[in-house]
Amino acid sequence: MTALSSGCPSGLSIATEMAASQDPSAFVVSRNGHQTLDILVRGASCGGCLSKIEKAVGALPGVDVARLNLSIGRLQVAWTGSLKPKLVIETITGLGYGASAFEPAEADSASAKTERRLFTALVVAGVATAGVMFLSEPLWFGSDLPDDTRTILRLISAVVAIPAAAFAGLPFYTSALASIRSRQLNMDVPISLAVILALGLSVVETINGGRHAFFDAAVMLLFFLLIGRVLDARLRRQAYSAANALAAMQTASATRLRADGAAEAIKASDVRAGDTLLIAAGERLAVNAEVVSGTSEADLRLVTGEVEPAPTFPGQVIHAGAINLSAPLRVRALARADQSLMADVARLLEAGEQKKSAYRKLADKAAEIYVPQVHAMAALGFVGWLAFGATTAQAAFVAITVLIITCPCALALAAPLVQVVAAGALFRRGIYLSSGDALERLATVDHVVFDKTGTLTLGDPVLRREGLDAGVLKDAARLARASHHPFSRAVARAAGTGPVADEVTEYPGQGVSGFVDGRFARLGSASFVGVERGTGSELWYAVEGEALRVMHFDDTIRADAAETVARLKRMGLTVELLSGDSSSRVARAASAAGISDWRGEATPVSKAERLAALQAEGRKVLMVGDGLNDAAALAGAHASIAPGGAVDVSRLASDCVFSGDSLSAVADIIEVARTARRRMRENFGLAAIYNLLAVPVALAGWVTPLIAALAMSGSSAVVTLNALRLAGRRALPESP
């Protein structure tokens, strides 16, 4: 566990700094005589990582299984005996990877099952298509084929195609039935109709020795459509597991004090109101709680956006998301984790969710126009041919071929293909989309509202180095390393790794004292070292027999914030800063980032109100924020983006989460979303052109199985190639 063996040996992935204070024993499950634990591993990206982690964990006493799934970064460990689960986590973090235990969600295994079901259907349809094509070829080109041979080939095609279509088409049939029941016709209705009618017509034609059988068209249709479905399901699952990965980064366990005084580790989701919890220094609160005993300070950056820690004392209520800084606290839980939100925030969140589900996707809009038109065309064909003296059978043939050839293969592929390609491009840059239609909404925004702390800025204060003696910094850092206070951590970060002072004592809300090289030293607030004139935003360092030193801190804005804001403006967007922090700080950050429109001291409710006001003016607002105070605004906005360090609620309320320190991700996301939207519209356009050409041919009664096969695969191929252009072009600049 030396510094050399840290992280991914290929250098592909940067190991993440992790607070490993979590106790994973709450997540251990007993299964068939084994203890098993699922761990999410971050930073592992190559074969070297894989074997290093599996070997190290496998060598722990009693471990029978240690298998890392590199695709989703999940390590499954099973052991017998009395191995401490925390040791497993420590072994992985010791190698330089991030590790956190988690509970595999049931929703995940359900979506994995759906994906597997669709994948099986795809393969069945593919094999059937290949088989039927092989039988159809002589039918298409062998004009001198005797009639009995034709019938035999068709019968075999039927034997292959009918069961295959029955199985592979099930997802469409069930969805179509549901849509008919709810009286909202979706794309699956014409799809199901086309498949079933094509098979029915072909059976009749085969029995009567008719001209054309469309067994090949029916299964090929399903094959193409299932490609779209599988991609869509995979994208959704990928987004889900990304959200899962981020959720596991948060504190997911808590320490509960039982009535007999013993402490036990439990899952955060198991905390009930009234439980007494022990919050160690540096731990994040999972629930709203009232302090029972202990005096400390709480870091409220994620709750209110204020940079300065607030003192905590018995009787005070602290909100979930706050981090306890200096001393252990004993608290009483006031609500369960999933209810630990300020009441009005929760209400606003709900309102926002409702608004979002009311958004109509491009594909749905297309289906709404498309479905009635196609059915009208088929009806027109039937009536028209009857009017011109054709038999019912001939008219039905025309109507059915219209339905087959207009079956929206290309239309059904148009949106998911583009979304998958765009999401993949974003994913490689560490940007996770929550859903496919998020891209559509992100593409149409015209106004960007930034939160300050943790979004426009990095959130962590940074020590101002000018005028600071290196020796003083080195000595002060020896005290600072013993404290969780953000200012102390900033000092420790600036000084790098090193020793800790002797006999360190932390005074909550005041400072740290100890012995540096045998001399008594103090590091803390102005009053702690006996200075009258303090502003609270600096740290004082006092050593016996030496002059007092003062250290200043900056809430540094992200390195590329100004550049990103300028880029957003060039893209035709207006930018605004909306923060809960003090107006003077907000003004400073706004001028540094080049934002002229700013508002400070905003409450969660006023943030949401500001957004509602903007949207009432007809603006399409993109909210970028990370705190609990942003959650309602994120949910209510037309589209929203959260940085990876955001609280659970904010991440869940967002359409998109980006990792890393670079704010340029925001501009990148909008750019990719705009390109994706353009491609989607082009694809719908291509599908429309295809139909304009195909429908007259079908109405004229010229459609043969060969034409149907060529038209369908041709239009699908065009749409696919157009979607792939998104990946071919350098849609995204490489991250620096």
Which amino acids are annotated catalytic?
451
Under the binding rule (CB under 8 A), the answer on residue 120 touching another protein is: yes
Under the binding rule (CB under 8 A), the answer on residue 116 touching another protein is: yes
Under the binding rule (CB under 8 A), the answer on residue 51 touching another protein is: yes
Euclidean distance between CA atoms 366 and 364, whole angstroms: 5
Under the binding rule (CB under 8 A), the answer on residue 180 touching another protein is: no
CB 487 within 8 A of CB 528: no
Under the binding rule (CB under 8 A), the answer on residue 124 touching another protein is: yes
User: From the list 15, 19, 20, 46, which residue makes contact with another protein (rule: CB under 8 A)?
Assistant: 46
Applying CB under 8 A, which part among 46-54, 90-98, 197-205, 207-215 lies near another protein? 46-54
Nearer Cβ to another protein (130/177): 130
Nearer Cβ to another protein (51/373): 51
Structure letter (DSSP) for residue 557: B
User: From the list 19, 90, 108, 119, which residue makes contact with another protein (rule: CB under 8 A)?
Assistant: 119
Give the pairing of strands 538-543 and 519-524: antiparallel
Euclidean distance between CA atoms 459 and 553, whole angstroms: 12
User: From the list 19, 60, 72, 559, which residue makes contact with another protein (rule: CB under 8 A)?
Assistant: 72
SS3 sequence of 661-724: CCCHHHHHHHHHHHHHHHHHHHHHHHHHHHHHHHHHHHHCCCCCHHHHHHHHHHHHHHHHHHHH
User: From the list 2, 30, 71, 143, which residue makes contact with another protein (rule: CB under 8 A)?
Assistant: 71
User: From the list 1, 152, 317, 376, which residue makes contact with another protein (rule: CB under 8 A)?
Assistant: 152
Long-range contact set of residues 639-646: C-beta below 8 Å, sequence gap at least 24: 639/438, 639/441, 639/442, 639/444, 639/445, 641/442, 641/665, 641/666, 641/669, 643/454, 643/455, 644/246, 644/249, 644/430, 645/454, 645/459, 646/302, 646/454
Work out how close the CB of 553 gets to another protein at its nearest, in angstroms, rounded to a whole number: 42
**Which residues, including other chains, have CB under 8 Å from residue 649's CB and lie 6 or more apart?**
321, 341, 345, 349, 628, 631
Applying CB under 8 A, which part among 66-74, 460-468, 532-540, 639-647 lies near another protein? 66-74
Structure letter (DSSP) for residue 601: S
**Which residues, including other chains, have CB under 8 Å from residue 433's CB and lie 6 or more apart?**
235, 239, 423, 426, 427, 439, 655, 656
Q: How many degrees, rounded to 5, is the angle at CA 402 between CA 398 and CA 403? A: 120
Give the count of residues interacting with another protein (CB under 8 A): 21
Give the pairing of strands 447-450 and 574-578: parallel
Applying CB under 8 A, which part among 117-125, 334-342, 513-521, 530-538 lies near another protein? 117-125
Element (H, E) at 142: none
Specify which residues 543 forms β-bridges with. 521
Nearer Cβ to another protein (142/499): 142
Under the binding rule (CB under 8 A), the answer on residue 70 touching another protein is: yes
User: From the list 8, 66, 68, 665, which residue makes contact with another protein (rule: CB under 8 A)?
Assistant: 68
Under the binding rule (CB under 8 A), the answer on residue 134 touching another protein is: yes
User: From the list 15, 19, 20, 50, which residue makes contact with another protein (rule: CB under 8 A)?
Assistant: 50
Euclidean distance between CA atoms 441 and 714, whole angstroms: 30
User: From the list 85, 131, 309, 511, which residue makes contact with another protein (rule: CB under 8 A)?
Assistant: 131
Nearer Cβ to another protein (156/724): 156
Tell me the DSSP string of 279-295. Answer: E-TTPBP-S-EEEEE--
- Cα torsion at 403, 409, 412, 418 (round to 10°)? -160
x/- letters, 503..522, toward another protein (CB under 8 A): --------------------
Residue 305 region by backbone torsions, left for phi larger than 0, else alpha for psi between -120 and 50, else beta: left
Under the binding rule (CB under 8 A), the answer on residue 5 touching another protein is: no
Work out how close the CB of 222 gets to another protein at its nearest, in angstroms, rounded to a whole number: 15
Structure tokens at 512: 């740290």
Under the binding rule (CB under 8 A), the answer on residue 531 touching another protein is: no
Q: How many degrees, rounded to 5, is the angle at CA 52 between CA 47 and CA 54? A: 95
Euclidean distance between CA atoms 496 and 511, whole angstroms: 20
Cα–Cα distances in angstroms (integers) from residue 366 to residues 514, 684, 685, 717, in the given order: 70, 8, 10, 20
Applying CB under 8 A, which part among 125-133, 263-271, 347-355, 694-702 lies near another protein? 125-133
Nearer Cβ to another protein (116/272): 116
Work out how close the CB of 54 gets to another protein at its nearest, in angstroms, rounded to a whole number: 9
Under the binding rule (CB under 8 A), the answer on residue 113 touching another protein is: no
Nearer Cβ to another protein (168/573): 168
Amino acid at 591: S
Nearer Cβ to another protein (133/390): 133
Work out how close the CB of 81 gets to another protein at its nearest, in angstroms, rounded to a whole number: 21
| Segment 270 to 329, residues that bind another protein, using CB under 8 A | none
Nearer Cβ to another protein (153/266): 153
Nearer Cβ to another protein (40/448): 40
Name the site residues for another protein (rule: CB under 8 A).
46-47, 50-51, 68-72, 116, 119-120, 123-124, 127, 130-131, 134, 152, 156, 160
